Amino acid sequence: MNFLRRVISPSSRSQFPNRSFKIRQNHYGSIAQPTSSSLVHGIHQFHCPDVVGILAKLSDCIASREGNILSADIFVPDDNHVFYSRSEFLFDPAKWPREQMDADFSNLAKKFNAMKSVVRVPDSDPKYKISILASKQEHCLVDLLHGWQDGRFPIHITSVISNHERGPNTHVIRFLERHGIPYYYLPTTKENKREEEILDIVGDTDFLVLARYMQVLSGDFLKSYKKDIINIHHGLLPSFKGSNPSKQAFDAGVKLIGATTHFVSEELDSGPIIEQLVERVSHRDNLRTFIQKSEDVEKRCLAKAIKSYCELRIFPYEANKTVVFRS
């Protein structure tokens, strides 16, 4: 580890523009393997100004507590002089109690003037509390509900909020009632987006998901909520605007469709992009299969973004970009 950090030190920038490395080894240089059933999985996310020795200190911190590094993703952009890393490691809680772990990583953050240092132990930390906002279209909402039920996401859904009314015998309402998830129907108008009521409902959540919620959240709402909001939309914009964009795109004979997941910002659909997926369509598709493919890519794109967020894979980068370390 020490050797690698010396090789990619700032003096070597001309050879390594936008330094990005994925390391899968322990602090002895071999692939880490669990040696005891008592070992627990941890994740550390780190963002700080770039100086020599960061990776060595991160490695030493984990090794000093007899932890094994499973993987380390590192990115240092050539022009920004900042350091991004995400480490996965195994540790024994008896030898490295959580309080001590938090203190150790906090000391590292202070040493390197970190902008962000987050540690997570997925098996023992509380699940992320989220609320889902959705309108009439249900494909993304239903996929998230089933993904939550199947344990694909480390989340706890505290509520579903919609500006579309659903009857008591619809499959979504039956699912929510069966699992004790409150459903709030808040009809909106141009004059009243019901934002104060939404804020009251979502006040204790960790982040929000807009699963095809066809309302624009105001700047005042974003400033009041203060936490991250993840949005999904189809990739047919800006060419196909207005009502029924899928029909417009199908009639135009497009051959490539897609979806974009991004953080919500005050500028409409212009927040930092988290994930983008594409899907090919052809002359063999009819309107039904075209729409089905479009909805499927939206579901996959949103699920992938939420999974990346919960696994601490996403960093803010520059004014309107993200660093996303892939699995």
Which residues belong to the active site?
269
Cβ proximity of 24 and 84 under 8 Å:
no
- Let me know: does 102 contact 108? Beta carbons within 8 Å: no
User: What SS3 class is residue 233?
Assistant: strand
Q: Name the strand (E) or helix (H) holding 98.
A: helix 98-111
Three-class SS state of 129? strand
Q: How far is CA 147 from the centre of its chain?
A: 15
| Contacts by residues 321-326 (CB-CB < 8 Å, ≥ 24 positions apart) | 321/272, 321/273, 322/263, 322/272, 322/273, 322/274, 323/75, 323/84, 324/274, 324/275, 325/73, 325/75, 325/86
Beta bridge partners, 259, equal 234, 277
Measure Cα distances from 37 to 86, 92, 209, 298 in Å. 24, 9, 36, 38
Angle formed by the axes of helices 245-252 and 287-310, nearest 10°: 120
Q: Which residue type sits at 101?
A: M
Three-state secondary-structure class, residue 58: helix
184 touches 161 (CB < 8 A) = yes
How far is the C-alpha of 79 from the C-alpha of 271, rounded, in Å?
A: 22
The CA-to-CA distance between both ends of the chain, in Å, stands at 21
Amino acid present at 219? G
